[in-house]
Amino acid sequence: MSNDLAGVWEVALSDGVHRIEFEHGTTTGKRVISVDGKEILRRDWMFKLVGKETFSVGQSDTKATINIDAVSGFAYEYTLEINGKSLKKYMENRSKVTSTWVLNLDGIDCRVVLEKDTMDVWCNGERIETAGEFVDDGTETHFTLGDHNCCVKAVSSGKRRDGIIHTLLVDGTEIAECTE
Lowest-pLDDT range of 45-49, 117-121, 143-147: 45-49
Query: Containing H/E element for 118?
Result: none
| Confidence check: pLDDT of 172 > 70 | yes
Q: Average pLDDT of 31-44?
A: 95
Name the CATH architecture for the domain at 95-175. Beta Barrel (2.40)
Calculate the average pLDDT of the chain.
Answer: 92
What pLDDT does 1 receive?
46
Best CATH choice for the domain 5-92 from the list 3.40.50.300, 3.30.230.10, 3.30.70.100, 2.40.128.180: 2.40.128.180
CATH 2.40.128.180 residue ranges in the chain?
5-92, 95-175
For 103-116, write each residue's pLDDT tens digit.
999 999 999 999 99
Calpha distance 31→4 (Å, rounded):
9
Sign of CA dihedral 10, 12, 17, 23: negative
Q: Average pLDDT of 73-92?
A: 92
What pLDDT does 74 receive?
78
Confidence grade of residue 2 (pLDDT, cut at 50, 70, 90): low
What pLDDT does 62 receive?
95
On whether the CB atoms of residues 30 and 43 are closer than 8 A, the answer is: yes
Confidence grade of residue 159 (pLDDT, cut at 50, 70, 90): confident
| Confidence check: pLDDT of 140 > 70 | yes
How many helical (H) and strand (E) elements, i.e. helices and strands, does the chain have?
1, 17
